[in-house]
Amino acid sequence: MLKNLEPRNKIITPGSGLDFVDAHPALANERNAHALGSPIFDAHALRVPTGLMADSRWAREDRPQPGTDAPILSRPQTARALKAALAAPRLAIEKVSPAVDEGRFAAKRIVGDTVRVEADVFMDGHDRIAATLLWRAADVAQWNEVPMRALGNDRWAASFPLERIGRHLFTLEAWRDTWSTLSDELSKKFAARQDVSLDIREAQAFIEQTAEQAEPRPAELDELLQELAAAIQADAKNSDHADAVVLLVGERMATAMAACDRRAFVLRLDTKFPVDADRPIANFASWYELFPRSQGARSEDHHGTFDDVITRLPAIRDMGFDVLYFPPIHPIGKTNRKGRNNSLIAAPNDPGSPYAIGSEEGGHDAIHPQLGNFDDFARLLKAVAEHGMEIALDFAVQCSPDHPWLREHPEWFQWRADGSLRHAENPPKKYEDIVNVDFYAGDGVSGPVAPALWLALRDIVLFWIGHGVRIFRVDNPHTKPLSFWQWLIAEVRGRHPNVIFLAEAFTRPKVMARLAKIGYTQSYTYFTWRDTKADLTQYLEELNAQPLREFFRPHFFVNTPDINPHFLQRAGRAGFVIRAALAGFMSGLWGMYSGFELCESAAVQDGEHTKEEYLDSEKYQIKVRSWLQPGNIVSEIALINRIRRATPALHSHLGLKFHRADNDQIIFFSKTLSEAHDDCLLDDIVLVAINLDPFNTQESTVEVPLHAWGLPDDSEFAIEDLVSGSRWVWRGKQQSLRLDPAALPFLVWRVSVGNSRNPSNG
């Protein structure tokens, strides 16, 4: 240890009560350049409070050496650290919600919603505090201010409305409420019969000071000061201070002082938390996918048109669908065209996969000539709108080898060592009819050399928006850079906030979540493979929990052209109804690929087993169908969509809670609007029971969650059967039910809590 190390010069930090000295006497010559008593902050000198000099471990000769077992010490605090501590916030604002990654990404809501904001807000001691919610639309500079209310345990809340589609921002501010603290202490002392004469004088002085500092001086405070002076005079005669105390702790004084509050120790969060308000169809919609080229087909050589799609619209509308989704409608390449059932050799009349985009007739900004032209497309859009629906287009970022971009921009693609084009692969699978663009064309060191590619892809989306499309289903977005999608979606939605993007990403959960965070409005899900009670319960509870509930909107597709689920391959007609009911009643968003209503399930054989692929897949050939063939489930789909549309609690996946059913083949759950929306009363409760067994009638005792609704277990409550329209009264939380899949494998009831009564109370 160094001996006899004495301070040669003290550095006094005014008002700190601490003396600081140089940590090494060799720095003494620097001190003369500073006035005694001024704080000195020097990058080359470590100045340590004298009280810390007893341990001189920080002297160079005695610092711990690497590899020793000495305890790890922090460098002693400097005057700069003390200054920072004195300026640090005295209050704390934590655990803000809604917040996605602490405000890095936007929470998702629907225009017309009320956003409930909560946070932990507190400070040291027992002083009163106040907090406010600040919010605004992203294109408005002025903040709106809403006082927050204390919920208990330092949790505070306030709400703001989403009145426009697009990005909104909010932040929080809190401060020590000096007047509220003073009046609260005065009230308590007066109630305890303590002498408050001095407190009244201090309050009077503080009011006067507040009035003087206000700009302009508030007339209301002057009036209150006059009344206070009169009250003090009156109390002097009575010696009880009652009139003055009543005035000081009253509502008028509190309001007047709050209006002039200078907000002591105020803390405003730097983070501006984003919230995106989307159109209602972003949260609640039923999607129907079809291949336009198969519509009106009388044979596999007959190519359908947009006019043939128009002919199908009444039937699709009558089933209750809101969105009509098309796979790519662009010209299809001929090089390496796939034949029937994904064969490598195409027959002369095979139409090819619509995902092999681009030919001599055009690329992503062109229409397949056999479907029609842009005038035909405009007429189709108009007809779809007249039927109460919207069109969704597939945005697939891939090209056939015949795409015009290959000739115009060869630098946008990858070329192999022998000069050949690198085709799309997912080893060992190869897609010879498709090539992928190279988002980072270049050497990987100096950066991308083709930023024009990103702009071109953005312009494709803007092109179709210009032709009236507002919904895009994006093919395999997880195989493209996340930064690209974040940029593109921000570019598009910044100009057109009513545009919706659906991510078709059957991939790892964290990647799916990230796509939703960076801007995708909706997301495909694992629902397609969840068919047991345990799996469905676990998955829906996960989707309803934080953090996913704030930003991930699950879209439950029961099938796709690429996915023929094993459950449907073996379940028969009842299985199709079961899956439609699960999707439609569990999620606000559900969809089906055409042919589902006909219970199509023929699969590609793979040895003794089958693949999850359709035999004679419509991706590679034109499909001829009879839409009214026996065994269809058209009426059941229409029933599910009718119930959904008429029941607000079913307009979201949120608000779902599972309840006990003593049969694992019966899944029983409730959905409430109050759980799905902020600041909403318990005014819409739905109970749903579904038989998961497509072959056998199942019975179960179920437990209705009366306690959660504030009702005794033996209450009577009114219910309405949403299938039949019948109404009756149930008594008690235990109910029995029976579901025959051959008749109808589901039941749905609306519960009227407001009409409930406790029989024990008459």
Q: What is the 3-state secondary structure (H, E, C) of 567-633?
A: HHHHHHHHHHHHHHHHHHHHCCEEEEECCHHHCCCCEEEECCEEEEEECCCCCCCCCCCCCCCCCCC
Rounded-to-integer distance, Cα 586 and Cα 195, Å: 64
SS3 150: strand
DSSP H helices, 60-135, are 79-87
Quote the tokens at residue 728.
Answer: 């009756």
Quote the tokens at residue 196.
Answer: 């408050």
Long-range contacts of 96-99 (CB under 8 A, 24+ apart): 96/172, 96/269, 96/271, 96/273, 97/546, 97/550, 98/273, 98/275, 98/550, 99/273, 99/550
Strands 129-137 and 155-161, bridge-based pairing:
unpaired
* Closest alpha carbon to 466 in 520, 393, 400, 522: 393
* Closest alpha carbon to 705 in 759, 660, 640: 660
The one-letter amino acid at 551: F
Find out whether 351 and 314 touch, Cβ atoms under 8 Å.
no
Rounded-to-integer distance, Cα 595 and Cα 617, Å: 11
* Closest alpha carbon to 108 in 168, 189, 54, 148: 168
Burial class (CB in 10 A: 0-12, 13-18, 19+), 148: buried
Q: 């459950």: which residue's tokens? A: 567
Which residues lie across from 717 on neighbouring strands? Answer: 730
Find out whether 638 and 316 touch, Cβ atoms under 8 Å.
no
Q: How many other β-carbons are positioned within 10 Å of the β-carbon of residue 645?
A: 14
Residues serving a catalytic function are 475, 504
Rounded-to-integer distance, Cα 496 and Cα 278, Å: 11
Rounded-to-integer distance, Cα 134 and Cα 140, Å: 13
Rounded-to-integer distance, Cα 474 and Cα 482, Å: 13
Rounded-to-integer distance, Cα 16 and Cα 570, Å: 80
Which residues lie across from 711 on neighbouring strands? Answer: none
User: b/e map of 345-381 (b: 16 or more CB within 10 Å)?
Assistant: ebeeebbbbbbbbbbebbbbebbbeebbeeebbeebb
Rounded-to-integer distance, Cα 160 and Cα 34, Å: 54
60: left (phi over 0), alpha (psi -120 to 50) or beta: alpha
